[in-house]
């Protein structure tokens, strides 16, 4: 019986052969370098692969994924990706994409357990979003409705977090890019819902404004 990881390797060979059949120079072109227009910050959930849900070819989207698509200013992994995308790759758009029925968001609404201690520490930031919008969320009747609305509020919060970074403010001031979009993917219908867009003209709360936007 073929093991699951062996099947992936066979699928890879079949895919590479099919691509070469259609476009003989495809991988040669890909090997020359990347020039993506988009940075995608998404959830690590296996049901939300960026390239597939927007039907994009390899090379168009530079991506970073974590549990519940968070932008945390002390997460140097995420900020390193953002800085490279903005300052080296010169992306024109950043997309923060969450998804409905998100397990991370639902876990943030549940009791913390020692078995998932590190996960719950990561999800504390989503609990903060809940706290900021407690009145609206507590007015919703079902846990699913509450979780899905928190998914949306979390995406909006992460877009705002990006706008608070010196990386974005410096690029907005000097080069008038990138635009930052907040989307939510519907796992039940496959459609994207746009929630928010910020750009160089967006007003930033003075509390988060960098005067000279250093790193």
CA dist 212 and 127 (Å) reads 32
Active-site residue, selected from the candidate residues 47, 134, 209, 215: 47
With 90 as the cut, is the pLDDT of residue 78 above it?
yes
Instruction: Give burial (CB, 10 Å; 0-12/13-18/19+) of 87.
Output: middle
Active-site residue, selected from the candidate residues 43, 93, 97, 181: 43
Active-site residue, selected from the candidate residues 64, 93, 99, 181: 99
CA dist 173 and 151 (Å) reads 30
With 70 as the cut, is the pLDDT of residue 213 above it?
no
Active-site residue, selected from the candidate residues 78, 93, 97, 102: 102
Instruction: Give the CA dihedral 204, 207, 208, 211, nearest 10 degrees.
Output: 90
Kindly tell me the number of DSSP H helices and DSSP E strands found in the chain: 10, 5
The per-residue pLDDT for 2 is 84
Three-state SS at 208: helix
Query: To the nearest whole number, what is the mean pLDDT of the chain?
Result: 94
Instruction: Specify whether 99 is catalytic.
Output: yes
Instruction: Specify whether 102 is catalytic.
Output: yes
With 60 as the cut, is the pLDDT of residue 207 above it?
yes
Looking at the chain, the whole-number percentage of residues with pLDDT higher than 90 is 90
Q: Is the dihedral of CA 82, 83, 84, 85 positive or negative?
A: positive
Active-site residue, selected from the candidate residues 45, 64, 97, 148: 45
Instruction: Specify whether 47 is catalytic.
Output: yes
Instruction: Specify whether 78 is catalytic.
Output: no
pTM of the model: 0.92
The per-residue pLDDT for 215 is 47
């Amino acid at each position: 019986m073929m093991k699951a990881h062996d099947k992936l390797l066979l699928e890879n060979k079949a895919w590479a052969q099919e691509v070469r059949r259609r476009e003989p120079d495809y991988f040669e072109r890909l090997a020359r370098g990347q020039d993506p227009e988009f940075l995608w910050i998404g959830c690590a959930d296996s049901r939300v692969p960026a390239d597939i849900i927007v039907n994009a070819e390899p090379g168009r989207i530079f991506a970073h994924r974590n549990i519940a698509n968070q932008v945390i200013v002390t997460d140097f992994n995420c900020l390193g990706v953002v800085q490279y995308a903005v300052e080296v790759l010169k992306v024109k758009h950043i997309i923060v994409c969450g998804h409905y029925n998100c397990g991370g968001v639902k876990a943030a609404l549940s009791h913390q357990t020692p078995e998932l201690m590190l996960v719950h520490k990561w999800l504390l930031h989503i609990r903060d979003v809940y706290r900021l919008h407690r009145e609206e969320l507590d007015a919703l009747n079902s846990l699913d409705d509450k979780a899905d609305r928190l998914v949306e509020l979390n995406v909006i919060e992460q877009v705002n977090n990006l706008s608070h970074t010196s990386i974005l403010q410096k690029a907005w001031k000097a080069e008038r890019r990138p635009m930052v979009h907040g989307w939510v993917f519907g796992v039940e219908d496959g459609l994207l819902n746009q929630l928010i867009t910020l750009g160089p003209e967006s007003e930033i709360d003075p509390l988060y404004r960098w005067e000279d936007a250093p790193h």
